[in-house]
Amino acid sequence: MILKSSKDRAKATEDGARHQHDADGHGNAAGGMRFPTREDLAGMRRQWRADGAIDPEQLSLRLARYVRDQEQEREPVATAANPLVRLGGRFAERTSTDFKVETRGPRARLAAHDWLDVLIQSLRRTRLDHRDLGASGRKEFNDALKAAYARGDYPWLAAWHEDMSHRMHTMAHVGPAGTQRFLPWHRIYVFGLEEFLRTTHPNLRVPYWDFANDHSRPDWVWQPPDVERHPPGEQGGSLPDQATIDTILLKSTYTDFTTSLEFDAHNGVHNWCNGTISDIALAAKDPIFWLLHANVDRIWDTWQLTHAGKPNVSGVDAYLDPTIYSTEDVNDISQLGYSY
């Protein structure tokens, strides 16, 4: 809200001071206002993000990254190489309608002024730490999950993860492409769920679980009837600490980074959770999966802001089946329309 007069501003200042004094009880007899603590700052920042405020540092970093990417020579990807696009039928109708995907030239770039508008919009669709959701936010997320489950969209989407032919993990039978595809494949996967959920709540965003700093499994998330959750940690696995994540973020090449993130953080978290989510094929049946992977995506995005490395794939390997997105299409989350 913009205050239109000095009288309005003075009243707002007075009201704010009175609220601060009343809320914490640390004001003095004259009605003074205490200096904020680090905890107060954290609360303010959470509120700013929840209100859709734009972080100027984020804007600057993303603009710098856009300029850097524009200056780099990009290898074109042959759009005709993906046979899955030609499947047609129910699959093509569902992906093109529900995911709102559009085919576009692999070298198509947004003009600077258009990209800036896209960036600003993405910064207003910020995914939050699940701890910052209030009771209403958690209820909204769970209600959307239940609605997607009842429609059949959720089981349909979760079943994608049962098909290891999508080559979205580092596995012996997959070859090197699995390592390269791990992050972009799961990025579009979480984005797909978010789009499905937004058909119920248009402003909904998938929250993330910062498992390096929050060592409690987010069991508030709705548990479908076919999902098991056992006491975490009893069957092995572990949660990384922030020092481990910081070390991962120092990796200079994309391959070193994604390998370390997958094996030194992601895999251990899945196993630690101890239940359906610990089974690589069935993991996506448990909605906690999406919070876990939103955080993996957030860590990748953090690395991308200061590193130029990308997945080293081409041809069919570059397409994130069963979608019609390529690794290049999902390389910048700003163009997907969200941020952290």
Residues 6+ away with beta carbon under 8 Å from 35: none
* pLDDT for residue 122: 77
Distance CA 128, CA 41 (A): 16
Cβ(16)–Cβ(31) under 8 Å? no
Question: For the chain, what are the domain ranges?
Answer: 57-103+111-336
- On whether the CB atoms of residues 231 and 206 are closer than 8 A, the answer is no
* Amino acid in position 180: Q
pLDDT of residue 335: 84
pTM of the model: 0.72
Query: What residues contact residue 13 under an 8 Å CB cut-off, 6+ apart?
Result: none
CA quadruple 159, 160, 162, 165: dihedral sign: positive
Quick: pLDDT tens for 274-283.
999 999 999 9
Please count the residues of the chain. Answer: 340
Residue 333, token pair as written in the block: 């989350």
Give the bridge partners for 126, in sequence order: 339
SS3 content of the chain, % helix, strand, coil (to 5): 55, 0, 40
Structure tokens at 243: 């020092």
Radius of gyration, alpha carbons of the chain: 22
Q: Distance (Å, rounded) from C-alpha 285 to C-alpha 105?
A: 34
Q: What is the pLDDT of residue 117?
A: 73
DSSP-assigned letter for residue 35: P
> Residues with Cβ < 8 Å from 108, sequence gap 6 or more?
none
In terms of Cα–Cα distance, which of 126, 92, 90, 85 is closest to 320?
A: 85
- What does the pLDDT look like over 153-199, one tens digit per residue? 999 999 999 999 999 999 888 889 999 999 999 999 999 999 999 98
- Report the pLDDT averaged over residues 224-228: 97
57-103+111-336 — its CATH code? 1.10.1280.10
CA distances to 107, 289, 321 from 180, in Å: 21, 20, 14
19-28, 142-151, 261-270: range with lowest mean pLDDT: 19-28
